[in-house]
Amino acid sequence: MDRVLSKPGRDGTSAAAAPADAAAAEAGRREFRYSRGDFERVRALIHRRAGIALAPGKQDMVYSRLVRRLRHHGLRSFAEYLDLLERDGGDEWEAFTNALTTNLTDFFREAHHFDALRGLLGAQPASARLQIWSAAASTGEEPYSIAMTAVEHFGGFHAPVAVLATDIDTQVLDTARRGVYPAERLAKLGDERRRRFFLRGTGPNEGYCRVRDELRRLVEFRPLNLLDARWDLRGPFAAVFCRNVMIYFDKATQRAIVEKILPLLAPGGLFFAGHSESFLHAADLLKSCGRTTYRRAGEA
């Protein structure tokens, strides 16, 4: 191991001590007692609970996400909170998981996937009724984009498509079910889509838009933890959108999830991944057929 020599400071201490001193000073300014050991407990608990692999550098993020839970329970330290969680967490496990999950989404995010979905819909038999699964639905923009794509392809809200939208975070699912969004979130959709699929709020709801009931009826929202031993799902799914969630899992967990998804995927069905996700380690399971778009390995 190479040894690094640091220049002594004016008080005789080395400059290498500065980061540790800064961390200690920051800890002293915090409202609640929070140690590196507490952070490591959080990392272990969220990995066991939701499969999320928190990076070692996320210590400050964890503090900012969980302080509200400590205030809610009137606790003084993270150690007390984590003891409570492990002793009799109950509903608190859900609040803990919700606080630590990140939900970034947008309508028609990664537009090439929706182009591929249109092609898939066009290749189906005319009499087929299709199921599509949005496996990390967040606040609903993805499943509603899937439903809009189907309505546009089939020429009306009678589209023979059912979209299942799941997420581990129950709070974002509540937002998705309501289907109410600030008007600026719809800016990229264009006037035609906004008129066809949304209602503009007036009076106290001015500045907001709500998904039309005809579109909402094509989507079912349900909580689901991808790490659960059993999924109460019935395939086959013509397509599975599992985007920007695998990045939170280690490779072994990613593979285990893919192995559970594939039996639910219809022959010739598509698996859509996020832009920064790769499945080279699962090439025996998935075959690339486009940008972050896959089929079951062995299929033409």
- State the fold for domain 111-296: Rossmann fold (3.40.50)
How many residues appear in the chain? 300
Kindly report the pTM of this predicted structure: 0.72
Is pLDDT of 295 > 90?
A: yes
* Dist. CA 147–CA 197, nearest whole Å: 10
Is pLDDT of 16 > 70?
A: no
As to burial, measured by CB atoms within 10 angstroms (0-12 exposed, 13-18 middle, 19+ buried), residue 127 is: exposed
pLDDT per position as a tens digit, 96-132? 887 887 666 789 999 999 999 999 999 988 788 999 9
Is pLDDT of 283 > 80?
A: yes
Which of 89-103, 127-141, 248-262 is least confident?
89-103
> How many C-beta neighbours within 10 Å does residue 219 have?
23
Residue 6 pLDDT level (bands cut at 50, 70, 90):
very low
Task: Please compute the mean of the pLDDT values over residues 175-201 and round it to a whole number.
Answer: 93
Instruction: Please state the three-class secondary structure of 179-239 as a single string.
Output: CEEEHHHHHHHCHHHHHHHEEECCHHHCCEEEECHHHHCCEEEEECCCCCCCCCCCCCEEE
Least Cα distance to 147 among 208, 255, 158, 21 occurs for 158
Residue type at position 103: N
CA 130 distance to own-chain centroid = 23
Query: Residue 236: is the preceding peptide bond cis (ω within 30°)?
Result: yes
Least Cα distance to 228 among 101, 86, 50 occurs for 50
Contact of 33 with 75, CB cutoff 8 Å:
no
* Dist. CA 269–CA 110, nearest whole Å: 18
Is pLDDT of 275 > 50?
A: yes
Is pLDDT of 193 > 90?
A: yes
Backbone angles phi, psi at 6, to 5 degrees: -110, 150
Residue 2 pLDDT level (bands cut at 50, 70, 90):
very low
Is pLDDT of 9 > 70?
A: no
Residue 152 pLDDT level (bands cut at 50, 70, 90):
very high
Which DSSP symbol is given to 33? B
* Dist. CA 157–CA 24, nearest whole Å: 59
* Dist. CA 105–CA 185, nearest whole Å: 10
Rg (CA), the chain: 23
pLDDT per position as a tens digit, 60-89? 888 988 998 999 899 999 999 999 999 887
Average pLDDT of the chain is 86
- Residue with the bigger pLDDT between 148 and 20: it is 148
* Dist. CA 8–CA 6, nearest whole Å: 6
Contact of 220 with 147, CB cutoff 8 Å:
no
Is pLDDT of 234 > 70?
A: yes
Task: Please compute the mean of the pLDDT values over residues 142-162 and round it to a whole number.
Answer: 96
In the chain, what are the domain boundaries?
A: 18-100, 111-296
- Residue with the bigger pLDDT between 55 and 237: it is 237
Q: CA angle at residue 74 from 68 to 80, to 5 degrees?
A: 90
pLDDT at residue 25, as a whole number = 44
Q: Which residues are catalytic?
A: 65, 167
Return the axis-axis angle of helices 111-122 and 141-154, rounded to nearest 10°.
Answer: 40
* Dist. CA 175–CA 186, nearest whole Å: 15
Q: 18-100 maps to which CATH number?
A: 1.10.155.10
